[in-house]
Amino acid sequence: MRALIVTAVAAEADSVAAGLTPHPDPVTPEPRTLPGGYLITRRDLPGLAADVLVGGVGPAAAAAATATALALADYSLVISAGIGGGFAPAAPLGSLVVADALVAADLGAETPEGFLPVQELGFGRSVHLPPAELAARAAEATGALLAPVLTVSTVTGSASRAAEIAARHPLAGAEAMEGFGVAEAAAAHGLPVLEVRAVSNAVGPRDRAAWRIGDALAALTAGFRALGPVLVNWGERHERHEHHEHG
């Protein structure tokens, strides 16, 4: 199976690639550049070829980078991966969250009665669903919380904003900035999507001193080390199913 794994920044891509590096391979993979200046690193494991893409911060950048990569190669699965904020107490610092829904939490309109998601305005969508079995198996293998991951264009930085967004999405496990953009590009190519987030900070008032970015990046590496066999198994079953349908 060939998977495209989209991260926002190089540190996230390096952490994912480290998890997909056959142990004890000490070689740091050299990225190559795609049109648009996007960096992509190839990792090969038995049964899994993974391209790890540095796509930039925010849903628009992530969508553009993902669409570029998908136009240049054939993939079976697209994964949005990186660090993000966790909703306490369900997703503590250093933990992992696997999305059972990728939600554009601030795509819509403010009204006197409150926020309306874009589909309630009569157009578009604000939720993408990953393959349910794949998400559940990924969460089980990595010890992650299985919950919605919210995509925002502005990171939550106050208690009032955190309370507002938690009230609208009470089951949410994490907040990040790219997942929905990645999912939109994947959907345009007819591909399934998954999102994996390692929690570096709590959703709420910004307190950089309390952030644990190093711990989150380490959790991302460990998570993708555990996720590899799940992806291989899912890819083999997906390919057998497609072969049976077209056989």
Question: Each residue of 87-114: pLDDT tens digit?
Answer: 989 999 999 999 999 999 887 777 787 7
Cis peptide bond upstream of 89, omega within 30: yes
- Per cent of the chain over pLDDT 70 is 94
Is the pLDDT score of 247 beyond 60? no
pTM of the model: 0.91
Q: In the prediction, which pLDDT does 190 show?
A: 96
Average pLDDT over every residue of 38-46: 92
Q: In the prediction, which pLDDT does 15 show?
A: 95
Lowest mean pLDDT among 33-42, 133-142, 157-166: 157-166
Count of CB atoms situated within 10 Å of the CB of 180: 30
* Average pLDDT value for the chain: 89
Instruction: Give the C-alpha distances (Å, rounded to integers) separating 70 from 2, 6, 53, 113, 199.
Output: 11, 11, 11, 40, 27
Is the pLDDT score of 28 beyond 70? no
Could you tell me whether strands 145-151 and 174-176 are parallel, antiparallel, or unpaired per DSSP bridges?
parallel
Q: In the prediction, which pLDDT does 29 show?
A: 67
Q: In the prediction, which pLDDT does 118 show?
A: 77
**pLDDT tens per residue, range 190-226:** 999 999 999 999 898 877 777 899 999 999 999 999 9
Average pLDDT over every residue of 111-133: 83
Kindly indicate the confidence band of residue 242, based on its pLDDT and cuts at 50, 70 and 90.
low
Is the pLDDT score of 241 beyond 70? no
Q: In the prediction, which pLDDT does 162 show?
A: 85
- Per cent of the chain over pLDDT 90 is 66
- Long-range contact list for 68-74, CB < 8 A, 24+ apart? 68/34, 68/35, 68/36, 68/38, 69/4, 69/6, 69/34, 69/38, 69/40, 70/4, 70/185, 70/186, 70/189, 70/191, 72/34, 72/35, 73/2, 73/4, 74/2
Q: How far apart are CA 97 and CA 92, in angstroms?
A: 10
